[in-house]
Structure formats: structure tokens, C-alpha cells
Structure 1
Amino acid sequence: MKGFLKEFKEFALKGNMIDLAVGMIIGAAFTALVNKLVSDLIMPLISLITGKIDFENMFIPLAGQTTKVYSEAVEQGAVLAYGSFITAVINFLIMALVVFIFVKQMNKLKKTEPEAAPTEKECEYCKTMIPIAATRCPHCTSKLAGYAESV
């Protein structure tokens, strides 16, 4: 049990775990922000464009309700609220779009490291890897391109 607690402590206090916790908190706040964006800005615009369709009050009564208001229908019995599902789909699409744009911009900001110059080359005779500056292959002793004869 002592080993388990030690292992759990190491796991829980690693930097990755803290990063994950911070990411979850920021993600929750970001989700709330996007939900407000959709419910307060996007959905009213969509309703205006589609002829004032109120997605919140789109439902199918399952208990014989006659009201057209969602909150009243829920009080009277079960309803199939497909309007809320449409709102959730729009929330998801906007969230996915925002995350896509964010990741794309972060990738542009990320410094790309130049590819390191090669330190080895292949011997043209025996096909083994040798140092790039070699003028003779240490394996087959062949003279390589760039070999200068000593005078």
C-alpha cells in the first residue's frame, strides 16, 4: 500500500498532471464562453435569418402536452427536445472551428527548427555510414570524392 501511495503521489504531482488540471479549468471556462456566444449571439441571428425560429421551443410532446412553450411542457411531462440538440450541434461546430483556428495559429507561431546538417554520409563503394568529412572509407579504404593526393 505504501508503494501505491508513493507511486500515486509521483503521478499526481508531475508537471503533466498540473498542466492537465489547468487545461481542464481553462477548457471549462472556454466552453461556458462559447455556450454564451451561441445562445446569446449566434442563435438569435440564425433565428432572424430563418424567420424567427425559436430553437429552444422546438420539441415533441411525449405526454400529450398542448403547450408550445418548452418550460411549460417539461412541467407537464416528458418531451423530446430536438431544438436543444440543434443548439448543442451548433455549439460543437463553433467550438471545433475555434479550436481549429487556435491550433492553426499556434502552429504558425511555433518556431520551426532548421534541419540539422548531416554528420554522416554513405560510402559509395561499401554503402556503410562514415563521417561527412572523411576522404577515405575506414571500412573498405576506398578513396572518396574530394580525396586529395599528398605530394
Structure 2
Amino acid sequence: MSGFKKFLLRGNLVELAVAFVVGAAFAGLVKDFANSFITPLIALVGGKPDYTHLAVTINDTEFPYGVFLTSAIAFLITAVIVYFFVVLPMTKLIERMDRNQEVTERECPECLGTIPVKARRCQFCTAEVTPVVQTPA
């Protein structure tokens, strides 16, 4: 029982549970945004993208491919929304934040250990390395 308790109280399990709950709430937010704004805009141009009534019948068996088609279109719309309204702005923000951070470490060319940028000798293999002169940004 102590192993199970230890498993439940591990940090990454709690982080995963929180990420799942936040992800589910975010999925609802994206879906509602698509239904409230994007789908009506598409409907203005080409009609509402609802093809659930489309089906083909072979030997008295109905294959409702329209359900899949509607879901595929909804997926593509959701992916575009997430990319342009979440991923792209966050990528730009992270790039902007990283640009202002000063690099303090580098790899030793001999042993590939991590050494300070201003080091003249590697602390692991004692190879001589030329210090990097940083120019102000």
C-alpha cells in the first residue's frame, strides 16, 4: 500500500492531472470560440459546414461518411485556431523573453562538459579554451 501511496503523491502525476483538467477546460474554450466566431464566419462565405446527413449505402448497409467529414473539418478549424491564437503568440513571446537572457555556459570543445562562458580552462578535462567575449545586445 505504501508503494501505491508513493505513486499517487509523486509530483509528475499531480502535474499530469492538473494538465489534463486545464487541457479539458481549454478544449471547451476553443470549441466554444470556434462555434461562436469561426463557424459563423465560414457560414457567411460558404454555408454551415455540417455534412452529417451525407451517407452512402452499399448492400443495405449505410456508411455515414458525413459525420467523419464534419468532424475532420471541425478538427482542422480547431487546429488553425490553436496554432494562430495560442502556439504562434506563445512562440513569439518565448523568443522575445529568451533574447534578453544572457548566455552563461557553453560546451567544452574537448570533453563536451558544460563550462562557464568566461572560463579559460575546462574544469573537467583541463583543456585550455578561449573565453567567449560577449557583445552587448
8 A Cα contact 1:55 1:84, kept in partner: no
Residue in 1 that maps onto 2:96: 108
* CA spacing shift, 1:61–1:90, aligned 2, 3 Å: same
| Structure 2 CA distance for partners of 1:117 and 1:24, relative to 1, 3 Å | same
**1:54: which partner in 2?**
48
The answer as to whether partners of 1:35 and 1:91 remain within 8 angstroms in 2 is: yes
Is structure 2 residue 127 aligned with structure 1 residue 129?
yes
Relative contact order higher in (CA < 8 Å, ≥ 6 apart): 1
Structure number with greater Rg is 1
State the SS of the aligned residue for 1:55. coil
Q: Is the 8 A contact 2:55 2:64 kept in 1?
A: yes
Identity of aligned residues (%): 25
1:75-94 aligned at under 5 Å gives the runs 79-81=64-66, 82-94=69-81
Q: Deviations over 1:76-113 (max 9, x none)?
A: x6522213321222112222333413531245346735
Q: Secondary structure at the match of 1:112?
A: coil
Q: 2: distance between equivalents of 1:121 and 1:85?
A: 58
CA pair 20-112 structure 1, distance change in 2 beyond 3 A: farther
Return the letter of the residue paired with 1:129.
A
Structure 2, unaligned runs of 5 or more: 105-115, 131-137
**Greater CA deviation, 111-120 or 22-31?**
111-120
CA contact (8 A) 1:56 1:84 kept: no
The 1-side partners of 2:96 and 2:21 are apart by 25
TM-score (norm 2): 0.60
The alpha-carbon distance between structure 1 residues 8 and 120, as it changes in their structure 2 partners (threshold 3 A), is farther
Indicate the RMSD between aligned Cα atoms, in angstroms: 3.3
TM-score by length of 1: 0.56
Measure the CA separation in 1 of the matches of 2:83 and 2:44: 24
Letter in 2 for 1:61: A
1:28-55 CA deviation, whole Å, 9 max, x = no partner? 11110001111121011011123xx121
Task: Report Cα offsets for 1:49-88 as digits up to 9, x if no partner.
Answer: 23xx121245422359xxxxxxxxxxxx652221332122
